[in-house]
C-alpha cells in the first residue's frame, strides 16, 4: 500500500484551485495539502486570460450559485485586496440599450440585480448617460457604480503566496496524466515522479472533465472550449472610454456580448467574442489539437448544442475573421469608434461545460464523491467569485473527507 505524501492534492493552480487551497489550510491546519499545476507559473490559463472585471452580480438567476457567490465573493475579494495591498478600481459599468426593443430586458436586469443584492444600481436616460460615458449612445442604460477592474493574475498568485505561508506546497511544471487507486490512497501519475494523496480536489478548468474521468467518474458534461478574442484601442483612442460599457446580453447565450473594458493597467479592450476553439488552450486561430477537436466532435452533446446555436456560431466565426463586422458591433455602443481606433489584442479560452442534451451549463457546477471534489463548471464570474467558490469547495471537501464534522 502506498503511503500518502499529502492528505489533499488540488489539481489546478488557477484562481479557483488556489483560493480553495488557501481556505483548506485554514479549515484543516496541520494537514498536508499541495496544489499541482502543469504549467511553470500559476494562473496561466483562464485566470490569466480574462477581462479583469470584478462583476457586481447583475446578470445571474436569483438563487443560483453564480448570483450568491458573485455578490459575496466580490465583497470578500475587495476586502482581501485591501488587506493585501492589491490595487483595484471601482470604475463603474453601464449596460446600454441601443434600441427600444432591448428595454424590457434591461428592466429585467435591473430587477435581477436588485434581487441579487447588487448595490447602487440606477437607470439612466441619455443625458445622464453622457455625463458618465460621453461617447456612448443609447436609449437607456443601467449603471452599476461598484463594478470594478483588477489584475486577477496578481490576485491568484497572492492566494498562492498565502497558501505557501500557511504550510502548503505548490508543485508547478507537473502534469497529472493518470490517477490510480492504491489501497486507501490515490497515486497521481505525472510527467515527473508520482504523487500519493488521500484525497483530490479537481480544479483543472479546461481539463476538469478529463481529470474527473481519470478517477473513473463519469462527469455527465464535457468541456467545450470557446475562445474569446479581443481588440485593443490604440493609445490615442483610449480617452473615448471612461469605464466599462456592455450591451444588453442575449438571454439565450451564456456570454455577455462584445464590450469595452478599461483594464487596471490602463489599456482599453474591446471584446471578447465567443468562437469554438480547436484546442482547449487554443489562444490563436491556428492552434489545433487533434485530440481536443475529436473530443468535441465525437460528443453527442456538442452536436445537440450546435443544432440550437449554429446560426450564432456562424455569426461569431464570421465576426472573428472580419474586423469590419466586429467594429460594426462596437459602433452600436459607440458610433464614433472606427476601424483605425482598434488593433488586434489577446484572447482567452473559456471552459464551458456542455451536458449530453446540448445544454450549456449556466451555473457553477461542483460534484463530490469517491474521496474527491470536482469543480466541473466555473466560468465567468468565477474570478470575481473565487473566494466564495473556494470557501464552498474547501468546506465541502473538509466535510466529505472527514476532516471536520
x/- letters, 206..245, toward ligand FAD (CB under 6 A): xx---x----------------x-----------------
Say how far apart CA 12 and CA 39 lie, in whole Å.
9
- Which region among 41-49, 326-334, 352-360, 390-398 touches ligand FAD (by CB under 6 A)? 41-49
**Between residue 63 and residue 122, which ones bind ligand FAD under the rule CB under 6 A?**
none
- Which region among 23-31, 32-40, 317-325, 328-336 touches ligand FAD (by CB under 6 A)? 32-40
Do 257 and 249 contact (CB within 8 A), yes or no? Answer: yes
- CB-nearer residue toward ligand FAD: 28 or 36: 36
x/- letters, 325..354, toward ligand FAD (CB under 6 A): -----------------------xxx----
Q: Count of CB atoms within 10 A of residue 259's CB? A: 24
Q: Count of CB atoms within 10 A of residue 332's CB? A: 16
- CB-nearer residue toward ligand FAD: 7 or 39: 39
Q: What share of the chain is helix, strand, coil (3-state, %, to 5)?
A: 35, 25, 35
Site for ligand FAD (CB under 6 A): which residue of 23, 31, 55, 319? 55
Say how far apart CA 187 and CA 79 lie, in whole Å.
38
Site for ligand FAD (CB under 6 A): which residue of 4, 8, 12, 277? 12
Listed residue (41, 125, 150, 84) closest to 381, CA to CA? 150
Query: Nearest distance from residue 198's CB to ligand FAD, in Å?
Result: 18
- Which region among 60-68, 101-109, 329-337, 378-386 touches ligand FAD (by CB under 6 A)? 378-386
DSSP string, 289-348: -HHHHHHHHT-HHHHHHHHHHHHHHHHHHHHHH-HHHHHHHHHHH-TT--GGGEEEEEEE
**380 contacts ligand FAD (rule: CB under 6 A):** yes
Site for ligand FAD (CB under 6 A): which residue of 160, 225, 379, 390? 379
- Which region among 8-16, 289-297, 311-319, 355-363 touches ligand FAD (by CB under 6 A)? 8-16
Distances (CA, A) of 146 to 64, 118, 121, 263, 371: 21, 9, 9, 15, 40
Say how far apart CA 167 and CA 125 lie, in whole Å.
53
Say how far apart CA 169 and CA 6 lie, in whole Å.
10
Query: Nearest distance from residue 326's CB to ligand FAD, in Å?
Result: 15
Supply angle C-alpha 6, 11, 16, rounded to 5: 115
**CA–centroid distance for 153 within its chain:** 12
**176 contacts ligand FAD (rule: CB under 6 A):** yes
Query: Nearest distance from residue 236's CB to ligand FAD, in Å?
Result: 25
Contacting residues toward ligand FAD, per CB under 6 A: 11-17, 36-39, 43-47, 49-53, 55, 175-176, 203-207, 211, 228, 272, 348-350, 378-384
Amino acid at each position: 500500500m502506498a503511503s500518502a505524501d499529502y492528505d489533499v492534492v488540488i489539481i489546478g493552480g488557477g484562481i479557483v484551485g488556489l483560493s480553495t487551497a488557501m481556505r483548506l489550510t485554514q479549515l484543516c491546519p496541520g494537514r498536508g495539502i499541495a496544489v499541482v499545476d502543469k504549467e511553470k507559473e500559476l494562473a496561466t490559463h483562464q485566470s490569466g486570460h480574462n477581462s479583469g472585471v470584478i462583476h457586481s452580480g447583475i446578470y445571474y438567476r436569483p438563487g443560483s450559485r453564480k448570483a450568491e457567490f458573485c455578490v459575496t465573493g466580490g465583497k470578500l475579494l475587495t476586502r482581501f485586496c485591501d488587506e493585501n495591498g492589491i490595487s483595484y478600481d471601482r470604475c463603474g459599468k453601464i449596460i446600454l440599450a441601443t434600441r427600444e426593443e432591448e428595454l424590457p430586458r434591461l428592466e429585467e436586469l435591473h430587477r435581477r440585480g436588485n434581487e441579487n443584492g447588487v448595490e447602487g444600481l440606477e437607470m439612466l436616460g441619455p443625458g445622464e448617460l453622457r455625463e458618465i460615458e460621453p461617447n456612448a449612445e443609447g436609449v437607456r442604460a443601467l449603471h452599476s457604480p461598484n463594478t470594478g477592474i483588477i489584475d486577477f493574475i496578481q490576485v491568484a498568485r497572492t492566494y498562492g503566496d498565502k497558501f505557501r505561508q500557511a504550510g502548503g506546497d505548490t508543485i508547478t511544471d507537473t502534469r497529472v496524466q493518470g490517477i490510480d487507486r492504491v489501497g486507501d490512497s490515490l497515486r497521481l501519475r505525472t510527467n515527473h515522479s508520482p504523487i500519493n494523496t488521500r484525497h483530490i480536489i479537481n480544479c483543472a478548468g479546461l481539463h476538469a472533465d478529463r481529470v474527473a474521468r481519470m478517477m473513473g467518474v463519469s462527469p455527465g458534461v464535457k468541456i467545450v472550449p470557446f475562445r474569446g478574442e479581443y481588440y485593443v484601442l490604440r493609445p490615442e483612442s483610449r480617452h473615448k472610454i471612461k469605464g466599462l460599457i456592455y450591451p444588453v446580453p442575449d438571454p439565450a447565450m451564456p456570454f455577455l456580448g462584445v464590450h469595452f473594458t478599461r483594464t487596471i493597467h490602463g489599456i482599453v479592450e474591446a471584446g471578447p467574442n465567443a468562437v469554438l476553439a480547436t484546442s482547449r488552450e487554443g489562444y490563436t486561430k491556428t492552434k489545433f489539437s487533434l485530440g481536443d477537436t475529436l473530443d468535441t466532435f465525437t460528443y453527442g452533446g456538442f452536436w445537440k448544442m450546435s443544432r440550437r446555436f449554429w446560426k450564432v456560431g456562424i455569426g461569431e466565426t464570421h465576426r472573428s475573421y472580419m474586423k469590419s463586422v466586429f467594429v460594426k458591433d462596437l459602433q452600436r455602443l459607440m458610433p464614433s469608434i472606427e476601424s483605425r481606433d482598434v488593433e488586434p489584442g489577446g484572447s482567452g479560452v473559456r471552459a464551458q461545460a456542455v451536458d449530453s442534451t446540448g445544454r450549456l451549463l449556466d451555473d457553477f457546477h461542483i460534484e463530490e464523491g469517491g474521496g474527491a471534489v470536482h469543480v466541473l463548471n466555473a466560468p465567468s464570474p468565477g474570478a470575481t467569485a473565487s473566494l466564495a467558490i473556494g470557501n464552498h469547495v474547501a468546506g465541502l471537501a473538509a466535510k466529505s473527507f472527514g476532516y471536520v464534522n
